Amino acid sequence: MKWFLDLFSSSLGRKVLMALTGLFLTMFLAVHLAGNLQLLKDDGGKSFNMYAEFMGTNPLIQFVSKGNFALIIIHIIWAIMLSRKNRQARGEVGYAIAPKKSTWTSRNMGILGTIILIFLVIHIRHFYSEAHFGSIPTQVYDGKEVKDLYGEVVRWFKVDWYVALYVFCMAALGFHLWHGFTSAFQTLGLNHMKYNGVINLVGKAFAIVVPALFAWIPISMFFV
Amino acid sequence: MKITLKVWRQKNKDAKGEFKTYEHNHVSADMSFLEMLDVLNEELTKKNEEPIAFDHDCREGICGMCSLYINGHPHGPLQTTTCQLHMRSFQDGETITIEPWRAKAFPVVRDLVVDRTAFDRIQQAGAYVNVNTGGVPDANEIPISKKIADEAFDAASCIGCGACVAACKNASAMLFVGAKVSQFALLPQGKVERKERVEKMVAQMDAEGFGSCTNTYACEAECPKGIKIANIARMNREYFGAMISSYQIESGGGGD
Amino acid sequence: MNLDSKIPEGIVAEKWTKHKFNLKLVNPANKRKYEVIVVGTGLAGASAAASLGELGYNVKAFCFQDSPRRAHSIAAQGGINAAKNYQNDGDSIYRLFYDTVKGGDYRAREGNVYRLAESSVSIIDQCVAQGVPFAREYGGLLANRSFGGAQVSRTFYARGQTGQQLLLGAYGALNRQIANGKVKMYNRTEMLDLVVVDGKAKGIITRNLITGKVEAHSADAVLLCTGGYGNVFYLSTNAKGSNVTAAWRAHKKGALFGNPCFTQIHPTCIPVTGTHQSKLTLMSESLRNDGRVWVPKKAMPGLKSKDAAAIPESERDYFLERKYPSFGNLVPRDVASRNAKQVCDEGRGVGSGLAVFLDFSDAINRDGEDTIRAKYGNLFDMYAQITGENPYKGPMMIYPAVHYTMGGLWVDYNLQTTVPGLYALGEANFSDHGANRLGASALMQGLADGYFVIPYTLGDYLATIGWNDKVSTDHPAFQEAISAVNDRMNKLINIKGKKTVDDFHRQLGLTMWEYCGMSRSEEGLKKAKKIIQDIKAEFWTNVNVLGGASELNQELEKAGRVADFIELGELMVDDALNRTESCGGHFREESQTPEGEALRKDDEFAYVAAWEFKGENQPEALHKEELKFENVKLTQRSYK
């Protein structure tokens, strides 16, 4: 097992952990977005609430969801470890003029990640924990009583500062993905002339479309 | 041309360094950057001020000895070595800031001179094919496709100057190590030991205190020899492949 | 002194095989009891240190650069010759041997050159096995090109960076031995003296360039692989750090210096732009395949490239094509260089006056810019980067520059100098190139010496002296040498004069270039001797070396090297004075044919001039090693 520990404590192994967890989390984003888009359905929140109920009770989903939390935590912890190590690698005296031949996004994944983390905390506090542990009103659909998470969302999405924060954080997510998506492939060694174009295209498209759709929901609901 | 230089001066590795400002009034556009420093050093000597120490040797862009972090760029604003940079790339009256490479693994020795022996140690860990002199097959017994040979050459053209480390916000040496690993991973001669090689070289790279790659690609943008980040990806592949599949055989005596 | 070259008897093709058999061997178990010092880590040094380490000797290797990989072999561009005959065009070991002796203008030993040609074949095998990425054909086999006017394609290459790739191969082999603990590497460490005990080389004195610490290292043998001394001219294509100090110190401790005046001047370098110039950059002479060399017929001082097109054909002098109709622009290096100097001396030089045009406009019109770009793109880019001018738009300006020194420490067939236990390899020895080196032969010689000669010949000496012939660094000889080194440095630091080290070096260089460069005369050489003596006297009273000896002090390093260059310069002048013939890179104005071509005098000068140091400020003693030619017929070179 020593080799396994060596692998994930090496500079390359740490990166690969970031890449793998990152890629899994992007998949999660896609799934989450699919759910959120049901908020826009004009059925008074029925599909969204049913969906939330399903997600909240299905044992498999629950398992994946816990795993998802674990991955987020690993992604964060390893990011902190990497950043610390990388800062140390510069040495005690840094440059008077910072290096600049790279994109701002790629240099500031930590800052972007921190914004996303803050968002996550608020987000989980408002929705996830409310849905799971909170006492929010219920709705009955087809004889089944489910929590009215939709109502909760509508309430928050009418709060101007919350919507602004949400949109801002989605922008940060976009930039995080802008670099992170393709970067993960490079880290995993998947750099090949034949596929780089596609990976790049998908990565950039994902980084724009997914956060934009996420952000569109509160905006549209705010102005309704 | 007249220029103002802000130069990092540091007596030795333990001393505290600081920037010193020099007005340089005898600069011609045809001078190379290092010649500009030569002239300044001669003027300083004539004023009984100790000249600025900096590394250089071949002055034709191949030995990799020159360094200098000029106005925020390793080897200055062009993608070339400092010795091939000429003063015509600067404006009359410009202020130029010169710093040494900054990395924990490259401690400053004096002024602008740093210790890059970490690179040597990484290569000692395995950047070679284990063959003795003599007793090798005829050179044409190993056909190598031209494409592969060219790609290996591209990786092998690294001059080991350390600009990648200097440019990287994490002081990561992965472009350098990736290039070395790639050269041997691509060639049939190197394939025999590829797993062990990459494991050892990465371990040594980590032990030297270089940072991790976060794919900012500043290294590729600043590399005077245009080494590609595809080499880092290849190293990553080689490394995981090796870590997952290599045998760990306890060494021990054979015989009867 | 009896100069015994130890060339084995017998027919030339069997000498080396026979000699190898006659050499004593060191028992494998005893090899670890020997220590060998290798100074310099270029092709010769790195390959020697690695090969000796592989055999089991304990090696200490030294280089003044921050890494052994940076030795100046790395800058060689063109390629490496080998008599593989992969191209089926009639090459053979014998032909390579013949071409090399002839190219060297019959001033090299047949025996050595044959061995060199023989080893060339194994070098390519070795380098490929190490993973050197040579150029290849689409079928996967190695590519060759014809180089330097050779009639066969025997040059192996790795784009324009052959030296780099070969050195990295040897450096890899060296690293492997460092990792194995068989080689101990001392980076940024300079050899400042040789220690001789009871007539045998037993160690060296070094200075750690970072801490300034002066240290003694003892060993059973010392190998100098320290390259050439082209920097005696101040401006040359050598690296700034390349120096003669190790070889010169050895010379002063008893090693004879062979043919010091044999210098190679390369015709296609980028001209000097001003007094700030610190080095000259060579561009591959392959450019002469398509470029036409010319100057205006009438002097036009300050003529620029951009105005060249306006000069009508009738007013241009394509002087190489005019004088040498059959070889034209492809005459050998020495001829091309000398003629360029001649037209500039006539006042017809372009640009600064010390340059001639190398014009590609005909080639571009004929083949198109793309074809020329494909062939020479990297060279054109390099030219544009250095000069700031576009060589596709106007002609390049070129001028000759010192490139290689054929002279060096005299060695016998075993590469041993006249000091037992002291060996010289690669460019540091007076070498196999006679009076002129062919293109793509320097890399070959460095690697042949290191991989395939010294591993055999060194064993013979070590087996003879035995493993317990040790001298400790406590021996008075070491202590005396350490004090001498320290005294010399302190002396330099305490002069506190008015001129910088470079002031002296430039002055020396100009003198050497003017009087002991491409063309030499008795009058000029005598003048030079006087000037150099004056430079020496002033240097030791008026140089300014700031800083101390126990710290990184680049001025002090330079000062020591320049002091040695000054002394060497004088010896070169003496040697040039003595050789009143023209041969190879040595053109003596008093010895020319009626048409003004070089005239060799085989009756008087078919010998190696080996000079013996006789004490400070004493004239050196000349010893002659007669050269015997049993296979190659001596003819006068002609390129008309």
Burial of A81: CB neighbours in 10 Å, binned 0-12, 13-18, 19+: middle
Of these residues, C109, C288, C333, C338, which one is catalytic?
A: C333
Enclosing H/E stretch for C184:
strand C183-186
Q: Which of C66, C71, C68, C37 is nearest to C191 (CA)?
A: C37
Question: CA C344, CA C338: separation in Å to the nearest integer?
Answer: 10
Enclosing H/E stretch for B75:
none
Question: CA C505, CA C559: separation in Å to the nearest integer?
Answer: 9
Give the SS3 label for residue C474: coil
Query: Position C217: which residue type?
Result: H
Looking at the structure, tell me whether residues C465 and C434 fall in a common domain.
Answer: yes
Nearest CB to C554: which of B31, B53, B120? B53
Looking at the structure, tell me whether residues C17 and C155 fall in a common domain.
Answer: yes
Q: Which positions of chain A have pLDDT values less than 50?
A: none
pLDDT of amino acid B253? 41
Residues C563/C492, Cβ–Cβ less than 8 Å: yes
Q: Across the interface, do B133 and C451 touch by the CB < 8 Å criterion?
A: yes
Q: Across the interface, do C239 and B63 touch by the CB < 8 Å criterion?
A: yes
Looking at the structure, tell me whether residues C71 and C194 fall in a common domain.
Answer: yes
Count of other CB atoms within 10 angstroms of residue C498: 13
CATH of the domain at C426: 3.50.50.60
Q: Does a structural domain hold residue A73?
A: yes
Which residue carries 């040790």 as its tokens?
Answer: C470
Q: Which of C424, C412, C393, C408 is nearest to C304 (CA)?
A: C393
Q: Is C180 on the interface with B (CB under 8 A)?
A: no
Indicate the pTM of the whole model: 0.96
Q: Does a structural domain hold residue A103?
A: no
Per CB-CB distance under 8 Å, the chain B contacts of A6 are: 203, 243
Put simply, the chain C residues between 432 and 471 with a CB less than 8 A from any chain B CB are 451-452, 455
Looking at the structure, tell me whether residues C161 and C237 fall in a common domain.
Answer: yes
Per CB-CB distance under 8 Å, the chain C contacts of B29 are: 388
pLDDT of amino acid C326? 87
Q: Across the interface, do B143 and C140 touch by the CB < 8 Å criterion?
A: yes
* Tokens describing residue C156: 């192996």
Per CB-CB distance under 8 Å, the chain B contacts of C270 are: none
Does chain A reach chain C with at least 3 CB pairs under 8 Å?
A: no
Please state the φ and ψ torsions of residue B95, each to the nearest 5 degrees.
-100, 125
Q: Which positions of chain B have pLDDT values less than 50?
A: 249-256
Query: Position B209: which residue type?
Result: G
Enclosing H/E stretch for B111:
none
CATH of the domain at A185: 1.20.1300
Enclosing H/E stretch for C206:
strand C200-208
* Tokens describing residue C461: 């000496």
Question: CA C351, CA A22: separation in Å to the nearest integer?
Answer: 61
Q: What angle do CA C604, C607, C612 make, to 5 degrees?
A: 115
Question: CA C552, CA C126: separation in Å to the nearest integer?
Answer: 38
Q: Does a structural domain hold residue C613?
A: yes
Domain count, chain A: 1
Question: Distance of CA C412 to CAs C104, C349, C609, Å?
Answer: 18, 44, 13
Q: Which of A84, A21, A13 is nearest to B211 (CA)?
A: A84
Nearest CB to B136: which of C126, C278, C282? C126
* Tokens describing residue B120: 């040597």
Q: Does a structural domain hold residue A96?
A: no
Q: Does a structural domain hold residue C637?
A: no
Q: Provide the domain limits for residue A184.
A: 2-91+108-223
Looking at the structure, tell me whether residues C175 and C311 fall in a common domain.
Answer: no
Question: CA C73, CA C45: separation in Å to the nearest integer?
Answer: 10
pLDDT of amino acid B254? 40
Q: What is the CA radius of gyration of chain A?
A: 20
Task: Name residue C282's beta-bridge partners.
Answer: C269
Last-in-domain residue among C339, C367, C402: C402
Looking at the structure, tell me whether residues C214 and C306 fall in a common domain.
Answer: no
pLDDT of amino acid B27? 96
Q: What angle do CA B206, B207, B212 make, to 5 degrees?
A: 20
Domains located in chain B, CATH noted: 3-110 (3.10.20.30), 117-132+139-245 (1.10.1060.10)
Looking at the structure, tell me whether residues C410 and C398 fall in a common domain.
Answer: no
C581-596 pLDDT per residue, tens: 999 989 999 999 998 8
Q: Does a structural domain hold residue A191?
A: yes
Per CB-CB distance under 8 Å, the chain A contacts of B214 are: 15, 82, 86, 106, 109, 183
Last-in-domain residue among C375, C402, C429: C402
Nearest CB to B206: which of A10, A88, A99? A10
Looking at the structure, tell me whether residues C376 and C443 fall in a common domain.
Answer: no
Looking at the structure, tell me whether residues C244 and C324 fall in a common domain.
Answer: no
Instruction: Give the minimum alpha-carbon distance from B162 to chain C in angstroms, rounded to a whole number.
Output: 12
Q: What distance, in Å, lies between the first and last C-alpha atoms of chain A?
A: 57
- Pick the residue with more confidence: C125 or C372? C125
Q: Across the interface, do A96 and B107 touch by the CB < 8 Å criterion?
A: no
What contacts A174, CB < 8 A, 6 or more positions away?
Answer: A207, A208, A210, A211, A212
Q: What distance, in Å, lies between the first and last C-alpha atoms of chain B?
A: 78
Last-in-domain residue among C402, C430, C453: C402
pLDDT of amino acid C268? 93
Is beta strand B95-99 parallel, antiparallel or unpaired with respect to B3-9? parallel
Of C63-67, C434-438, C494-498, C612-616, give the lowest mean pLDDT range.
C434-438
Put simply, the chain B residues between 216 and 255 with a CB less than 8 A from any chain A CB are 216-218, 221-222, 229-230, 232-240, 243-244, 248
Nearest CB to B214: which of A86, A189, A191? A86
Burial of A19: CB neighbours in 10 Å, binned 0-12, 13-18, 19+: buried
Looking at the structure, tell me whether residues C556 and C429 fall in a common domain.
Answer: yes
CATH of the domain at C368: 3.90.700.10
Question: CA C69, CA C231: separation in Å to the nearest integer?
Answer: 20
Domain count, chain C: 2
Max Cα–Cα distance, chain C, nearest Å: 76
Query: Position C137: which residue type?
Result: E
Nearest CB to C51: which of B64, B130, B133? B133
Average pLDDT over residues C493-501: 97
* Tokens describing residue C476: 């008075």
Q: Does a structural domain hold residue A183?
A: yes
Question: CA C229, CA C413: separation in Å to the nearest integer?
Answer: 22
Query: Position C309: which residue type?
Result: A
Instruction: Give the minimum alpha-carbon distance from A201 to chain B in angstroms, rounded to a whole number.
Output: 17
Count of other CB atoms within 10 angstroms of residue A69: 11
Looking at the structure, tell me whether residues C85 and C204 fall in a common domain.
Answer: yes
Looking at the structure, tell me whether residues C381 and C469 fall in a common domain.
Answer: no
Q: Across the interface, do C544 and B55 touch by the CB < 8 Å criterion?
A: no
Is C333 known to be catalytic? yes
DSSP one-letter code for C255:
-
Q: Across the interface, do C277 and B35 touch by the CB < 8 Å criterion?
A: yes
What residues of A are in the B interface, CB distance below 8 Å? 3, 6-7, 10-16, 82, 85-103, 106-107, 109, 179, 183, 186-192
Q: Across the interface, do B156 and C165 touch by the CB < 8 Å criterion?
A: yes
Whole-number average pLDDT of chain C: 95
Query: Position B179: which residue type?
Result: A
Question: CA C584, CA C321: separation in Å to the nearest integer?
Answer: 20
Question: CA A204, CA C61: separation in Å to the nearest integer?
Answer: 52
Give the SS3 label for residue A189: coil
Q: Provide the domain limits for residue C306.
A: 268-402
Put simply, the chain C residues between 276 and 315 with a CB less than 8 A from any chain B CB are 276-279, 281-282
Per CB-CB distance under 8 Å, the chain C contacts of B46 are: 498, 500, 544
Per CB-CB distance under 8 Å, the chain B contacts of A12 are: 202, 212, 235-236, 239-240
Count of other CB atoms within 10 angstroms of residue A210: 20
Q: Does a structural domain hold residue A15?
A: yes
* Tokens describing residue C174: 């060296």
Question: CA C519, CA C601: separation in Å to the nearest integer?
Answer: 16
Residues C372/C393, Cβ–Cβ less than 8 Å: no
Q: Which of B69, B66, B91, B81 is nearest to B19 (CA)?
A: B69
> Which of C278, C451, C453 to mutate: most B Cβ within 10 Å?
C278
Which residue carries 């506190």 as its tokens?
Answer: C496
Give the SS3 label for residue C208: strand
Nearest CB to A16: which of B69, B174, B240? B240
Q: Does a structural domain hold residue C4?
A: no
Q: Which of C614, C586, C617 is nearest to C600 (CA)?
A: C586
Instruction: Give the minimum alpha-carbon distance from C19 to chain B in angstroms, rounded to a whole number.
Output: 18
Name the pLDDT band for C133 (thresholds 50, 70, 90): very high
Nearest CB to B212: which of A14, A98, A106? A14
Q: Does a structural domain hold residue A197?
A: yes
Put simply, the chain B residues between 226 and 255 with a CB less than 8 A from any chain C CB are none
Per CB-CB distance under 8 Å, the chain B contacts of A191 are: 229-230, 232-234
Average pLDDT over residues C545-570: 97
Question: CA C356, CA C295: separation in Å to the nearest integer?
Answer: 6
How many residues comprise chain A?
A: 224
Q: Across the interface, do C498 and B46 touch by the CB < 8 Å criterion?
A: yes
pLDDT of amino acid B255? 38
Is beta strand C221-224 parallel, antiparallel or unpaired with respect to C263-269? unpaired
Per CB-CB distance under 8 Å, the chain A contacts of B69 are: 95, 97
Nearest CB to C502: which of B42, B57, B110? B42
B·C CB contacts under 8 A: 218
* Tokens describing residue A207: 């980084």
Q: Does a structural domain hold residue C638?
A: no
